[in-house]
């Protein structure tokens, strides 16, 4: 889960909001974000490393202990994307969202668990020499990617056992509708997209990307 920006890309784009929106923002952010928040099925994220802004659109988030969240927006000189200006507040609260989005704070898996970004029902933890593993939460023990995916699938099948799948999807639609009444996701997506285009018009992001490419400054990712 990363934006995938190539900091060495020299591509020239005309300095207007419309051109920046069409060439840099819509394909990379706007369309992807809308595909996530309009998806009718249950969206599950299985995290095994660094993660960025699109994560807030998922219904369930599972992680390994080495997972961490770092958006990098103010470091890169860009605006919020992926619906994070609303989804992060909904998931972790305004105070933590301010830390992550405004002050560029990095949050590890345990911090995400504690602030409610990664949800859990009950905790049965075992302290090891390296970390705390929450066996009954949604932080899984350290393991290979293949094993992690299999464990998440097994957990999901267990959670869904005995439930009517059409009812689950109908309830998800109602939950999303309720959230949309508070903050229309299309409005959020469009607002963030235009703000991002305006940031690129200033030229600041490309200056920051160039500094990273030349290793004049170091990105925490």
- Encode the chain (221 residues) as per-residue pLDDT tens digits: 345 555 455 555 567 888 888 888 888 899 999 999 999 999 999 999 888 789 999 999 999 999 999 999 999 999 999 999 999 999 999 999 999 999 999 999 999 999 988 865 433 333 333 333 333 457 899 999 999 999 999 999 999 999 999 999 999 999 999 999 999 999 999 999 999 999 999 999 999 989 988 889 887 66
What residue spans of 43-184 are helical by DSSP H?
73-76, 84-92, 94-101, 109-114, 145-160, 165-182
Q: Where are the domains of the chain?
A: 17-141+165-213
What homologous superfamily is domain 17-141+165-213 in, according to CATH?
A: 2-enoyl-CoA Hydratase; Chain A, domain 1 (3.90.226.10)
CA angle 102, 208, 98 (to 5 degrees): 5
Beta bridge partners of 50: 68
- Can 198 be counted among the known catalytic residues? no
> Rounded to whole angstroms, how far apart are CA atoms 189 and 87?
11
Report the predicted TM-score, pTM, of the whole model to 2 decimal places: 0.81
Catalytic one among 14, 81, 99, 146? Answer: 81
Interacting residues of 203 by C-beta distance below 8 A, sequence separation 6+: 15
């Amino acid at each position: 889960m990363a934006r995938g920006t190539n900091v060495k890309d020299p591509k020239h784009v005309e300095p207007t909001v419309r051109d920046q929106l069409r060439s840099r923002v819509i394909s990379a952010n706007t369309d992807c974000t809308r595909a996530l928040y309009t998806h009718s099925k249950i969206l599950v994220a299985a995290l095994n490393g660094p993660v960025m802004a699109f994560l807030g659109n998922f219904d369930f988030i599972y992680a390994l202990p080495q997972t961490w969240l770092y958006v990098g927006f103010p470091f890169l000189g860009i605006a919020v994307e992926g619906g994070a200006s609303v989804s992060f507040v909904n998931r972790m609260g305004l105070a933590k969202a301010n830390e992550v989005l405004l002050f560029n704070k990095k949050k590890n898996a345990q911090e995400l668990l504690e602030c409610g970004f990664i949800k859990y029902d009950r905790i049965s933890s075992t302290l090891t020499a390296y970390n705390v593993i929450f066996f009954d939460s949604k932080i899984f023990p350290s393991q290979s990617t293949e094993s992690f995916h299999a464990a998440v699938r097994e957990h999901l099948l267990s959670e869904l056992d005995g439930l009517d799948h059409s009812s689950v999807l109908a309830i998800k639609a109602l939950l999303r509708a309720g959230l949309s009444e508070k903050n229309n996701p299309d409005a959020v997506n469009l607002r963030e997209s235009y703000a991002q285009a305006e940031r690129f018009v200033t030229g600041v992001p490309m200056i920051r990307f160039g500094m990273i490419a030349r290793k004049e400054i170091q990105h925490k990712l």
